Structure 1
Amino acid sequence: MSDIDYSSLASIPISYATCSLGSPSSPPPLLERLHAISFAGFAAIELSFPDILSYGQTLLGHQVQLSNYDELCKVAAEIKKECDKRQLGIMMLQPFANYEGWPEGSDGRKDAMDRARGWIRIMQACGTDMLQVGSTDSPLDKLDQSKMVSDLQVLCDMLKEHGYRLAYENWCWSTHAPNWKDVWTIVQQVDRPNIGLCLDTFQTAGGEWADPRTASGLLEDVSKHELEKRFQKSLDELSTTVPKDKIYLLQISDAYKVPQPFNAERDSSGLLPRGRWSHDFRPLPYNGGYLPVVDVATAVLKTGFRAWFSYEVFDGGADGKAKDVDIVAYAHAAKNVHVRLLEECAGRKVPEEVATR
């Protein structure tokens, strides 16, 4: 039995990432997704930068350039109005990537700092106070690893001027911080009051337990028994060492086992295997995936964390070939998944016939 008090879970607010409703390759218009998310009863969204770009094209009638922050802010302000109409908060702006570690004087560093200033302007325009930063997946030979911590300190200080927070996420394909413990170590070294963790069931289990490069779909450096033991030890450590107020949100998704193991190389767009897996093979829990999602969520809840659960899925089907879905029904399915997930985390037996779709 779990030692989590089920009644304490009622206060958990829920969010849905705008980028992750509908087909990963051709999502429906943003306003349709906002309607579906609101109609299903979510309190807020994670606003995705690609959605600002796509809605900008609709709103302004032309493609918005990545660095045109005047126009991006105009679009973000309009998205805020649309969210306000639907009683949706904007919990976070995401995903801020490949920021930390560029050498002094490099083009990468100049770009990272320009983007940091620009994204803070977007945060002001859309009314959010949290920026998600993914642990960089830039090749290590292009980076100065001694700058990882100081770069994040700089960003924290820039955000602090506006009362904003930085949610640092371990992307399981990151070249320098793929696991929760890696980013937790960095957050402690950054040592700023406005940095915390963005934990994720996919990133945690997908990095430490599963592997899209093997036929079993699991890490095969040890036996399955040893793998389970090692993973449980990691989750126990998470639940006993990370303070609840240093976890800003928990993102929820599962993963399909890929039809054929991926090769280990970067693809033509530069994505590593787990990055490709993340892009198209992430359904809602209880819908065909195989990750120990309940175990990860339970470990996070055992810290005392009762803040945002945010649903971020990229469901291209078990074959990864994206298909259109009824987004209203899908958002409702996510809400049902949330109810079931919390019950299972609290050790409540949920009948097999409980449908999630």
Structure 2
Amino acid sequence: MSSITKDSLKSIPLSFASCSIGSHSSDTLPRKLEAISNAGYTAIELSFPDIQDYGSRLLGHQIAEENYAELISAAGEIKKLCRATSLKVMMLQPFANYEGWPRGSVERQAALARAKGWIELMNVIGTDLLQVGSTDTPEDRISMRREDIVADLRELADMLARRNMRLAYENWCWSTHAPRWKDVWEIVQAIDRPNVGLCLDTFQTAGSEWGDPTTESGTLEDVSCEDLDQRFAESMDELARTVPAEKIYLLQISDAYKPATPIPKTVLSPDGLRPRGRWSHDYRPMPYDGGFLPIEAVARAVLRTGFRGWFSMEVFDAGPDGKGKHHEMLDFAKQSMQSMQRLLMNCADA
């Protein structure tokens, strides 16, 4: 495993997710980009809803998700905004609920059409990386057979490869079939394509294997605290030993609040999210701002693979109660940069 020197961490490129900043309708995409750039980031993860929102403002009417002619026009304008603020679009996100649909189904045809549309957006915006989240479609609607999942993602990878584009597969901790880093790593290995790698995430990793928003403690309670910590440490050691650095495309950074009142296990949120999905959606601050997950352990494991690629701040901070939290964007972006630098230095070997 690679040592983690402070000098090696200075070269890590830093990105910020466009969906992670702004708490008011007046916080438009141009203002978001200006704040992110002024805080010292060199790239963004561009969120599809930001394309849709910006395009709708430009055209004066709501753009439908499948209206790619208008979305592509908006993407061209966003490329100009990014150039003006010296920001690269590192990745388009979040592409979700793609894999596992029954062959010949309307849903599978719609997923393929969506993939083609997003690839055109990537081409116009100038990014070669698509984030794909492990699906959270209910298991009674999709195939849970690993070979079907792999076949679908391999088809998507080949579509991207024809445009010299890549696929970053991420474990969402509430996913139906791949909630842990090892699940998506096994799938990436089975896909066996040179343009497919991992989007790892400090929240998703610690939130699936250590944290649990439905318990009083905020952690998994199937073992003792000591055994839980040991089990998580062993998992991080395995990640550091077994995942090649070149198969990691980025590491997303965020922590999590422990909900003051546990999120009910059996109740979906109004938008249909499972408990961990709701936790991810509303309870994710930047590091050192009230969270409690062992995110430094995740970052260290990734760095010990030798990875020195993108670290990207992706937070969804609606406050400790998940009900909303206002922030001034420039101050928020600058604070996040300080948090990112602190995390990096804390990960260095003494």
- Common topology (TM > 0.5): yes
Question: Given the alignment, which residue of 287, 290, 308 partners 1:288?
Answer: 290
Residues 224 and 27 of structure 1: CA distance in aligned 2, closer, same or farther (over 3 Å): farther
Matched AA of 1:66: E
Partner of 1:355: none
1:255 is the counterpart of 2:256: yes
Q: Residues 254 and 291 of structure 1 are in contact (CA less than 8 Å); yes or no, is this contact kept in structure 2? A: yes
| Structure 1 CA distance for aligned equivalents of residues 143 and 104 of structure 2 | 11
- Structural mapping, 1:302-321, within 5 Å: 302-321=304-323
Instruction: Give, in whole Å, the separation in 1 of the partners of 2:138 and 2:106.
Output: 15
Residue 320 (structure 1) shift: 1.1
| Residue number among 298, 301, 315 corresponding to 1:299 in the alignment | 301
Shift of 1:347: 3.7
Q: Deviations over 1:273-315 (max 9, x none)?
A: 0100011110010000001111110000000000000000001
Question: What's 2:118 paired with?
Answer: 119
- Which consecutive residues of structure 2, in runs of 5 or more, have no partner in the other structure? none
Distance 1:242 1:315, change over 3 A: same
Q: Distance in 1 between matches of 2:46 and 2:197?
A: 19
Measure the CA separation in 2 of the matches of 1:344 and 1:104. Answer: 48
Distance change in 2, residues 1:329/1:193 (3 Å): same
Match of 1:187 in 2: 188
CA contact (8 A) 1:252 1:311 kept: yes
Q: Counterparts of 1:189-208 in structure 2 under 5 Å? A: 189-208=190-209
2:19 corresponds to: 19
Aligned to 1:214: 215
Question: For residue 34 of structure 2, what is the aligned residue in structure 1?
Answer: 35
Q: Give the alignment of 1:316-355 within 5 angstroms.
A: 316-347=318-349
Deviates more, 1:40-49 or 1:263-272: 263-272
Partners of 2:10 and 2:234 lie apart in 1 by 28
For 1:288, give the aligned amino acid. Answer: G
Q: Extract unaligned runs of 5+ from structure 1.
A: 349-357
Which TM-score applies when normalising by structure 2? 0.97
Deviation of the 1:27 alpha carbon: 7.3
Deviation (angstroms), 1:339: 1.2
Partners of 1:322 and 1:52 lie apart in 2 by 23
Deviations 1:161-203 (A, max 9, x none): 1100000000000010000000000000000000000000000
**1:82-121 per-position Cα deviation (integer Å, ceiling 9, x unaligned):** 0000100000000000000000111210111010000001
Match of 2:139 in 1: 140
Mapped partners of 1:15, 1:52: distance in 2: 18
> 1:239-254 to 2 correspondence within 5 Å?
239-254=240-255
Cα deviations by residue, 1:51-93 (Å, 9 ceiling, x for unpaired): 0111011111110011111111100111010000010000000
Deviation at 1:337, TM superposition (A): 1.0
| TM-fit CA distance, 1:5 | 1.2
User: Residue 227 of structure 1 corresponds to which residue in structure 2?
Assistant: 228
The share of aligned pairs that are identical, in percent, is: 60
Deviates more, 1:164-173 or 1:99-108: 99-108
Asked if structure 2 preserves the Cα contact closer than 8 Å seen for 1:21 and 1:27, the reply is no
Measure the CA separation in 1 of the matches of 2:56 and 2:117: 19
CA change 1:118–1:6 in 2 (3 A) is same
Give the Cα separation in 1 of the matches to 2:161 and 2:322. Answer: 40
In structure 1, how many angstroms separate the alpha carbons of the residues matched to 2:139 and 2:98? Answer: 13
Q: More deviation in 262-271 or 298-307? A: 262-271
Flag the 1:73–1:331 CA change in 2: closer, same or farther, 3 A: same
SS across alignment from 1:227: helix
Q: Is the aligned partner of 1:5 residue 2:27?
A: no
Alignment-mate amino acid for residue 22 of structure 1: G
The residue that corresponds to 1:352 in the other structure is none
C-alpha contact (below 8 Å) 2:5/2:349 kept by paired residues? no
> What is the rounded CA distance, in whole Å, between the counterparts of 2:224 and 2:328 in structure 1?
41
Give distance in 1, aligned partners of 2:218 and 2:285. Answer: 16
TM-score by length of 1: 0.95
**How many residue pairs end up in the alignment?**
346
> How far off its partner does 1:140 sit?
0.9
Work out the CA distance in 2 between the residues paired with 1:181 and 1:36. Answer: 35
